[in-house]
Amino acid sequence: MILIDGKKAAAELREELRKEVVELKNKHNKVPGLTVILIGDLTPSQIYVRNKEKSAKEVGLKSEVIKYPDSVEEKVILDKIDELNKDDTVSGILVQLPLPKHIDKQKIIEAINPSKDVDGFHPMNVGNLSSGYESSVPCTPLGCYLLIKKIEPNLSGKKAVIIGRSNLNGKPMTQLLLKENCTVTITHSRTKDLKAECLEADILVAAVGIPELVKEDWVKKDAIVIDVGINKTDKGIVGDVAFDEVSKSARAITPVPGGVGPMTIACLLKNTVECFKRSQL
């Protein structure tokens, strides 16, 4: 069994990006810039944003965090996004979710110039991804995809099963694997026989949010298992896959923590560098 080490893969990706940023600086005399907007004082969001800022600086990006109180008016955020859209030193804009209730999430997402949308949530990027065109891809599924490709570079004809159909994870994951010529099944809370679907998978991606939902007898021998779930339980943080059981028969599996999680931020940096490169064409 291969334990897919997300921490190591993320460190390797950051190192590649660091070198690329040096080359880009030499070529263009400027570096990619990432601006994060953080609204309110939700602790998990603050931790994510701090980690994003730290990682961005490590790879040599220009990084900025703009903070607003919970009570900030939607228009203030829309005006700031407009300003950042026009700012040449900003390659990527990210508005940390979740947002306070009085702010319309979709309006905010759609205000970001799609060419600076490092989260890949803008409908233009969603459409481009599903049409097979160049686009920013949401960071978590992009990280999963890169981990899968490390284990199995040729995915053509493989049967992939995704559990969860969120815009954040399941749907973009489906598109990425379709592009690799997998036969993809996307399952969700109304799927009739989830175990039977999972048993078909050469590649199984679980993005549900239910602790240890996927059991050993749900997984085909030699499957690649990617666990996106992050669930707080009495025994600590666990994924959507019963790791101790499933790791006995899987060909490769991501642990939680230390699997998909570390790749998410590294992919945000990758998206920022890609947005910068496209803006220089």
**Active centre residues (catalytic):** 52, 96, 119
Q: Least distance (Å) from ligand NAD to the CB of residue 27?
A: 32
Question: Do residues 259 and 226 touch, judged by C-beta distance below 8 A?
Answer: yes
For residue 143, give the 3-state DSSP assignment. helix
Distance CA 30, CA 153 (A): 34
Q: Least distance (Å) from ligand NAD to the CB of residue 167?
A: 8
Distance CA 200, CA 203 (A): 9
Among residues 115 and 166, whose Cβ is nearest to ligand NAD? Answer: 166
Nearby residues of 30 by Cβ (< 8 Å), 6 or more positions away: 24, 89
Nearby residues of 55 by Cβ (< 8 Å), 6 or more positions away: 14, 265, 266, 268, 269
Binding-site ranges for ligand NAD (CB under 6 A): 140, 163-166, 168-170, 187-189, 191, 194, 207-210, 228-231, 260-261, 264
Q: Least distance (Å) from ligand NAD to the CB of residue 227?
A: 8
- Separation in Å, CA 209 to CA 12, 143, 159, 246: 28, 18, 23, 17
**How far is the first Cα of the chain from the last one, in angstroms, to the nearest whole number?**
43
Determine the residue type at 58: E
- Per 3-state DSSP, the chain is made up of helix, strand and coil in percentages (nearest 5) of 45, 15, 40
Among residues 31 and 148, whose Cβ is nearest to ligand NAD? Answer: 148
Q: Least distance (Å) from ligand NAD to the CB of residue 205?
A: 10
Q: Least distance (Å) from ligand NAD to the CB of residue 232?
A: 9
> Which of these, 132, 227, 139, lies nearest to 178 by C-alpha position?
132
Distance CA 197, CA 85 (A): 43
Among residues 135 and 187, whose Cβ is nearest to ligand NAD? Answer: 187
Among residues 77 and 168, whose Cβ is nearest to ligand NAD? Answer: 168
Among residues 120 and 261, whose Cβ is nearest to ligand NAD? Answer: 261
